Structure 1
Amino acid sequence: MPADQPTILATSGGYRPASRTYLEFDALVHHAVELSGVTGRAPKVTVVGTASGDQRFFNDHLHQAGRVAGFDISTLDLFPMPNHDDVPGMLLEQDVVWVNGGSVANLLAVWQVHELGAPMRAAWEAGVVLAGVSAGSICWYVGGTTDSFGPELRAVTNGLSLLPYGNGVHYDSEARRRPLVHELVAAGTLPTTHCTDDGVGLVYHGTELVEAVSERDGKGAYIVTREGDAAVEERLEPRRLVNP
Structure 2
Amino acid sequence: MDAPSAVSISESTAFRGTIVALGGGGFSVSETGESAIDDELVRMAARRIRGGAEDEAGAQSGFGASVGLPNVCFVPTASGDSRDYIERFEATFEARARTHVLSLFGQSPWDYQDPAMLLDMDLIYVGGGSTANLLSLWRRHGVDQRMREAAAGGTILAGISAGANCWFAASSTDSFGPLAPLNDGLGFLRGSACPHFHGEPGRKESFREWIAQGRLPGPGIAIDDHAAVVYVDGAATSVMVESAGAQAFVVDTGGRLHNLDEQGPVASVSQDG
| TM-score for both structures, normalised by structure 2 | 0.79
Identity among equivalent pairs (%) = 32
Q: Secondary structure at the match of 2:168?
A: coil
Cα deviation digits, residues 145-192 of structure 1 (max 9, x gap): 111101x20011111111112111000111211111111211222221
- Does the 8 Å CA contact 1:33/1:95 hold for their aligned counterparts? no
Aligned to 2:119: 92
| CA distance in 1: counterparts of 2:113 and 2:164, whole angstroms | 26
Is 1:75 aligned to 2:74, yes or no? no
Quote the offset at 1:231 in angstroms.
Answer: 1.2
Aligned to 2:239: 212
Number of matched pairs = 228
In structure 1, the gaps of 5 or more residues are 19-23
Quote the offset at 1:25 in angstroms.
Answer: 4.3
Kindly indicate which of the two structures has a greater share of residues assigned to strand: 1
Aligned to 1:240: 268
- Does the 8 Å CA contact 2:105/2:112 hold for their aligned counterparts? no
Aligned to 2:18: 7
How well do the aligned residues superpose, as a CA RMSD in angstroms? Answer: 1.7
In structure 2, the gaps of 5 or more residues are 1-15, 50-63
- Does the 8 Å CA contact 1:100/1:133 hold for their aligned counterparts? yes
| CA distance in 2: counterparts of 1:176 and 1:183, whole angstroms | 11
Q: Secondary structure at the match of 1:166?
A: strand
| CA distance in 1: counterparts of 2:105 and 2:98, whole angstroms | 22
Aligned to 1:140: 167
Aligned to 1:187: 213
Q: How does 1:100-179 map to 2 (within 5 A)?
A: 100-150=127-177, 152-179=178-205
| TM-score for both structures, normalised by structure 1 | 0.88
Q: Secondary structure at the match of 2:228?
A: strand
2:114 counterpart letter in structure 1: D
- Does the 8 Å CA contact 1:212/1:239 hold for their aligned counterparts? yes
Q: Secondary structure at the match of 2:239?
A: strand
1:17 counterpart letter in structure 2: E
Quote the offset at 1:59 in angstroms.
Answer: 1.5
